[in-house]
Amino acid sequence: MEHTIKKILIYFKFLLKELISPLNYFMALLIGVVINFFQGIGIFSSLIPFIVPIIVQSISKASVKFGNRNLNLLVRLPMEKKDPAFVINTNGEIVVSEGETKELFSKNKINNFQDLFENQQIIDIKRMINESCKTKNHVSEEWFSPRTEKWYSINMKADDLSDNVLVWLDDISLRKKLDERLNKVRNFSTQMMLSIDEQLKESDSYDRLAQFVLEQGYKGVFITSKEKDGNLKGFVYKTFEGQASKSNEIVIPKESEAPIWKSRRSLGIVTDTISNYSDSEKFYQNNLFDSRVLEFLDFKIGNFINYHEENISVITFNKHNEITQHDLTLMEGIVNSAFTINYLVNIINNCK
């Protein structure tokens, strides 16, 4: 009953807007004048031809706008928006969805807001919907969707001219993954600090760092330190039979054009991928990888990230998917950790 009364009130809001619309009165004036003229009477002799069009136009336009109220609510968002945008009722049922959102919901058999966020308790979903309806303000939460396997920033806003709620989602999966991976970097750095005595004994700081990097989705990594003569010296690592395999010591001369030097020469993080080139051979011509590195890795390099801090230079090879800005941020964190640990190890060794 309450829902029906609310609908009636919303309809009357549309009707009132039409009744006070100047355009309706202008059209009614034209229609009234024409009807009275062709009836052969004075153009203002009868008021009925003026009043009836106002009533008819107001009711018809209000009815159309009332019927399309949810669709009109939805199209307030840009139509090219790829992240889901749709309208739900107060029970969470999806009332309107169009375009890519409709295809996504059809593919994943999503008919209700709860289908999209089935890992959330119903009480939390109802709380969010009720808060939006009650306050008419923008309400936002961050939830994970098992159906789409993505993190979303959920935005809800009820509208005075609709008994339903507009919902638009922003895909924040990359940010969430970055947060998760940066937490791993922080935890790794903490563990390295706590095990500094063990690392001094085993001399395996780079080995531990390489294992961590490989676990982040790279097929190989080359970790070096800059020597007093200006050359870079270090080891290449790759995953072999589930474990990190280590090369013999490799020295890259300071005159070398190997990509391990690119970060130092450009004074910033450097990345490149074979997909940037129409001819794959141009990728290798532009990035002259050291033959010893290639021989140990024993796979074709398709992308890399190179970064340095002070005397530490690191280059990672073949991230399992596309390199993003978040990967560059992560790389900076990893190299910073490597430098910090190496610096502490050198201080302790010098104090002995």
Domain match, 57 and 93 both: no
* In a shared domain, residues 310 and 213: yes
Burial class (CB in 10 A: 0-12, 13-18, 19+), 184: middle
> What does the pLDDT read at residue 272?
93
- Domain end residue (candidates: 20, 40, 67): 67
Q: Which of 154, 171, 188 is the last residue of a domain?
A: 171
How many Å apart are CA 6 and CA 93, to the nearest integer? 18
* Domain match, 207 and 180 both: yes
Question: In the prediction, which pLDDT does 187 show?
Answer: 81
Q: What CATH number is associated with residue 225? A: 3.30.450.40
Q: Are residues 204 and 328 in the same domain?
A: yes
Shared domain check, 314 and 200: yes
Are 204 and 340 in the same domain? yes
Pick the last residue of a domain from 67, 96, 120: 67
Print the domain residue range for 250: 176-351
Does one domain contain both 27 and 167?
Answer: no
Chain mean position to CA 242: 31
Are the C-beta atoms of residues 328 and 281 closer than 8 Å to each other?
no
Do 240 and 310 belong to one domain?
yes
Question: Quick check: 142 and 154 in contact, CB under 8 A?
Answer: yes
Q: Do 233 and 346 have their domain in common?
A: yes
Number of domains in the chain: 3
Q: Which helix (H) or strand (E) holds 157?
A: strand 150-158
Question: For position 117, which CATH number holds?
Answer: 3.30.450.20
Mean pLDDT by runs of 10 across the 352 residues of the chain is 69 70 69 67 68 69 65 57 81 85 88 89 84 79 90 84 81 84 79 74 81 89 91 92 86 94 91 91 93 93 92 91 83 82 71 62
Cβ neighbours of residue 227 closer than 8 Å, sequence gap 6 or more: 233, 251
Q: Which residues are CB-contacts of 212 (< 8 A; sequence separation ≥ 6)?
A: 184, 188, 334
Q: How far apart are CA 117 and CA 101, in angstroms?
A: 15
- Beta partners for residue 307, in sequence order: 314
Asked if 191 and 219 sit in the same domain, the reply is yes
Instruction: Check whether residue 154 and residue 122 sit in a common domain.
Output: yes
Does pTM top 0.85 for this prediction?
A: no
Same domain for 140 and 236? no
| The pLDDT of residue 53 | 64
pLDDT of 224: 92
Output the 3-class SS for 178-237: HHHHHHHHHHHHHHHHHCHHHHHHHCCHHHHHHHHHHHCCEEEEEEEEECCCCCEEEEEE
pLDDT of residue 231: 94
What pLDDT score does 219 carry? 92
Tell me which long-range contacts 189-192 makes (C-beta under 8 A, separation of at least 24): 189/337, 189/340, 189/341, 192/337, 192/341
User: Is residue 221 a contact partner of residue 316, using CB atoms and an 8 Å limit?
Assistant: yes
